[in-house]
């Protein structure tokens, strides 16, 4: 080890305001919770008659909702070929908002179509809004890389901001993680 390496690799205890700062090297937690686990609450939306197409709503404390596919969604098993935000006469990717109140954002309902997912076998699935509010943005990266849908938190389809007074009513219409797991989650081999 060179003198320069020993200088950078030697950790000296630090005391700030009389308190010893814990070591970031020795106290590293390998299974530290993900951003989704720390800052979002998972909710699920299953449209009646479409139990194979569950959607996940990641609800942040600042009321921002990320809409994506639940891990059990049929499209993920079939393989996703493409994602488009052109739904009917509307292109959701052209949505533009500005300011704190997100003025200019499209108003969406629970059943509004946010995107169309085409699978490798040719089947097409609609991704619904799941919550009522303003469309803040859609994830344009999905157009280039549809496999991002497999990654929780990164593979969201849309960001929707509900009105503050409607948040509790919206949460009551969605399934909690426990309710969803009990009703729809497939047991793994280890269970």
Strand partners, 67: 57, 158
Checking if the pLDDT of 6 tops 50, the result is yes
62 within domain boundaries: yes
User: What token pair was written down for 57?
Assistant: 């709503």
Checking if the pLDDT of 189 tops 70, the result is no
For the chain, the C-alpha Rg in angstroms (whole number) is 21
Give the Cα separation of 147 and 141 in Å (integer): 10
Checking if the pLDDT of 183 tops 50, the result is yes
Q: Are β-strands 133-138 and 14-16 bridged in parallel, bridged antiparallel, or unpaired?
A: unpaired
CB atoms within 10 A of CB 64: 17
- pLDDT tens-place string over residues 40-98: 999 999 999 999 999 999 999 899 999 999 999 999 999 999 999 999 899 998 888 88
17 within domain boundaries: no
More confidently predicted of 154 and 4: 154
72 within domain boundaries: yes
Contact assessment for residue 57 and residue 66, using Cβ atoms and an 8 Å cutoff: yes
Quickly tell me which residue has 């996703």 as its tokens: 80
191 within domain boundaries: no
Checking if the pLDDT of 186 tops 90, the result is no
CATH number at residue 53: 2.40.50.100
Number of domains in the chain: 1
The pLDDT-based confidence of 31 (bands split at 50, 70, 90) is confident
171 within domain boundaries: yes
pLDDT value of residue 4: 66
Give the Cα separation of 89 and 108 in Å (integer): 15
Checking if the pLDDT of 191 tops 50, the result is no
71 within domain boundaries: yes
Domain that includes residue 74, residue range: 33-93+104-175
Checking if the pLDDT of 182 tops 50, the result is yes
Local structure of residue 66 (DSSP, 8 states): E
pLDDT value of residue 15: 84
Checking if the pLDDT of 10 tops 70, the result is no
156 within domain boundaries: yes
How many Cα atoms occupy the beta-carbon half-sphere of 34 within 13 Å?
Answer: 10
Give the Cα separation of 10 and 21 in Å (integer): 15
More confidently predicted of 16 and 151: 151
User: What token pair was written down for 38?
Assistant: 């720390």
- pLDDT tens-place string over residues 99-112: 877 788 899 999 99
- pLDDT tens-place string over residues 120-158: 999 999 999 999 999 999 999 999 999 999 999 899 999
């Amino acid at each position: 080890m060179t003198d320069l390496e020993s200088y950078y690799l030697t950790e000296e205890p630090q005391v700030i305001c009389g308190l010893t700062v814990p070591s970031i090297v020795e106290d590293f937690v390998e299974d530290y919770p993900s951003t989704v686990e720390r800052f979002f609450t998972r909710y699920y939306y299953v449209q009646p008659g479409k139990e194979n197409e569950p959607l996940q709503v990641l609800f942040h404390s600042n009321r921002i909702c990320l809409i994506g596919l639940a891990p059990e969604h049929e499209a993920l098993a079939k393989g996703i070929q493409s994602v488009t935000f052109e739904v009917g006469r509307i292109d959701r990717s052209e949505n533009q908002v500005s300011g704190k109140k997100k003025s200019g954002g499209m108003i969406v309902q629970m059943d509004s179509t946010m995107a169309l997912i085409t699978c490798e076998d040719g089947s097409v699935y609609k991704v619904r809004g799941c919550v009522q509010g303003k469309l803040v943005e859609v994830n344009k990266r999905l157009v280039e890389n549809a496999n991002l849908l497999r990654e929780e938190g990164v593979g969201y389809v849309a960001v929707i901001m509900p009105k503050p007074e409607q948040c509790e009513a919206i949460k009551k219409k969605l399934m909690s993680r426990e309710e969803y797991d009990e009703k729809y989650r497939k047991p793994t081999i280890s269970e």
